Amino acid sequence: MRLASDRKLAGLGVLCVPRGVPVAGEDPGPSDILDRMSYSPTLRWGDHSPGDVGEARGRVLDAAQRCLAGQEYQRVTMEAIAAEAKISRATLYRYFSSRDEVLSGVVLREAARHLERILPRLEGEADLGAAILQMIHLTLKAAKRDPQIAIMFNSDESRYAGGILSESSVELFEMVSDLLGRLAARHSGQLRQDVTVDDASEWVLRALLSLLTVRGPKRRSHAALDSYLRRFLLPALLADPADRSLGSGLADPVRTC
């Protein structure tokens, strides 16, 4: 079963194509003097044009990921992404209005894939607290392992990536909220009665982004971080075990609009 937020990402619809944009594969030529200087009629998706907007956007994101793998974040430009995708800059701007939008799309696509991969493991945890901690641990590990994502949380690069995180924040929140809502329903009564799924999701996401971007004064082992989060994060979200029986008959946690 796919997360509800994936429906918004279907066809890579993370960011809506501007109204009036031509369909994928059509390239009427340069739109301004800079494009006319660099435009080549051969820069039309290589040998095979995409079949629809979703495929076109996906190929742009693939190109951006290849660019990120080969050079520093701040050197990845719209021109470099267009060249890697084998399209003109004019064509690229039909699908993404800025570099931050492109790279935000990379982050969101990888985040959606990551959450989908780890969902079965989270659903197998014994309680909601263990599932939340497992999500954080697995995400921290994935961010370090994936070079395209890790580069944005590297201390030397993160100052250049603030726009990406800002661009992606609402969509990331919706993904985490979808995931946590499913887990909270699975472990009914374990979320505090005065905490909504959306509030809990925002707090978990803020804690996770802080762990990814701020080194802090200590380097904690897995066990030490687990203990730290159990002490300072989970009490703000979870009902006291002694109170869970009282809330067991309540409806599922209320989602805010």
**Inside any domain, residue 200:** yes
Rounded percentage of the chain residues whose pLDDT exceeds 70: 68
**Inside any domain, residue 182:** yes
Domain that holds residue 141: 101-241
Shared domain for 92 and 154, answered yes or no, is no
Shared domain for 108 and 197, answered yes or no, is yes
The string of DSSP letters for 37-80 reads HH--TT-BSTTS--SSHHHHHHHHHHHHHHHHHHS-GGG--HHH
Shared domain for 159 and 176, answered yes or no, is yes
What CATH number did the domain enclosing 120 receive? 1.10.357
Shared domain for 126 and 68, answered yes or no, is no
Provide the pLDDT for residue 135: 96
Rounded Cα distance, 106 and 64, in Å: 7
Provide the pLDDT for residue 149: 60
Shared domain for 122 and 68, answered yes or no, is no
Rounded percentage of the chain residues whose pLDDT exceeds 90: 46
Shared domain for 71 and 133, answered yes or no, is no
pLDDT over 50 (residue 81): yes
Q: Which of 62, 97, 132 is the last residue of a domain?
A: 97
Q: Which of 97, 113, 139 is the last residue of a domain?
A: 97
Shared domain for 162 and 73, answered yes or no, is no
The burial class, CB within 10 Å (0-12 / 13-18 / 19+), for 113 is: middle
Backbone angles phi, psi at 44, to 5 degrees: -130, 65
pLDDT in tens, 186-242: 999 999 999 999 999 999 999 998 898 788 888 899 999 999 999 999 999 999 876
Rounded Cα distance, 78 and 75, in Å: 10
Shared domain for 127 and 148, answered yes or no, is yes
**Inside any domain, residue 196:** yes
Shared domain for 176 and 225, answered yes or no, is yes
